[in-house]
Amino acid sequence: MNGMKMLGIALIVAGALGLIYGGFTYTQNTHEAKLGPIELTVKDQKTVNIPLWAGLGAIAAGAFLLIARK
């Protein structure tokens, strides 16, 4: 299996996961304060939404890479 087919499969899988889940969340430490023995940390939870067109585009590009010949 050559690199283009592997990339095509990876794009199809990534696009399908983007359509199924629609996004992902992550936690970011935004503020830290150290006041003597006391430490304060604020953690913000961020959400990244994956647009529908990006998932469909990744699937289409992956299918094109699988079908395309050299």
pLDDT digits (tens, 9 = 90+) for 23-37: 899 998 887 888 888
| Rounded (10°) angle between helices 52-67 and 3-21 | 160
Return the closest-CA partner of residue 19 out of 31, 11, 29, 8.
11
pLDDT at 45: 92
pLDDT, tens digit, 9 for 90 and up, residues 16-69 = 999 999 889 999 888 788 888 888 888 899 999 999 999 999 999 999 999 987
pTM of the model: 0.71
Q: How far apart are CA 45 and CA 25, in angstroms?
A: 7
How many alpha carbons fall within 13 Å on the CB side of residue 50? 17
CA distances from 55 to 16, 24, 33, 67 (A): 6, 13, 40, 19
